Amino acid sequence: MKFGVVVFPGSNCDFDTVHALREVIGRPTEILWHKDHDLRGADCVVLPGGFSYGDYLRSGAIARFSPLMQEVREFAEKGGLVLGICNGFQVLLELGLLPGAMLRNKHLKFLCRFVTIRVENAGTRFTNAGRRGQVLRIPIAHFDGNYYADPATLEDIERNGQVVFRYCDPAGGLTEEANVNGSLHAIAGLTNQRGNVMGMMPHPERASEAILGSVDGRVVFESILQAVES
Partner 1 sequence: MRVRILVSLKTSVLDPQGQTVRNALHTLGYKAVEDVRQGKVFEVDLSGLSRDEAARLVPEIAHKVLANPIIETTTWEILES
139 contacts: CB under 8 Å, gap ≥ 6? 112, 113, 114, 115, 202, 203, 206, 207, 214
Say whether 44 is catalytic: no
Query: How close are the terminal C-alpha atoms of the chain, in Å?
Result: 10
Stretch that binds partner 1, among 9-17, 41-49, 79-87, 99-107 (CB under 8 A): 99-107
Say whether 23 is catalytic: no
Distance of alpha carbon 124 from alpha carbon 141, whole angstroms:
24
Nearer to partner 1, 65 or 110 (CB): 65
- Min separation Cβ 206 and partner 1, Å: 26
| DSSP output for 183-222 | -GGGEEEEE-TTSSEEEESS-GGGGSBGGGTB-TTHHHHH
The residues with which 5 forms a beta bridge, in sequence order, are: 31, 46
Asked if 114 contacts 75 with a C-beta cutoff of 8 angstroms, the reply is: no
Asked if 108 contacts 64 with a C-beta cutoff of 8 angstroms, the reply is: no
Say whether 168 is catalytic: no
Binds partner 1 by CB under 8 A, chosen from 2, 19, 104, 137? 104
- Cβ count near 150 (within 10 Å): 12
Nearer to partner 1, 60 or 217 (CB): 60
Stretch that binds partner 1, among 22-30, 35-43, 105-113, 185-193 (CB under 8 A): 105-113
Binds partner 1 by CB under 8 A, chosen from 15, 148, 185, 215? 148
- What residues between 153 and 192 interact with partner 1 by CB under 8 A? 182
Binds partner 1 by CB under 8 A, chosen from 49, 80, 88, 100? 100
Binds partner 1 by CB under 8 A, chosen from 71, 94, 120, 205? 94
Per CB under 8 A, residues contacting partner 1 are: 57-58, 61, 65, 94, 100-101, 103-108, 146, 148-150, 182
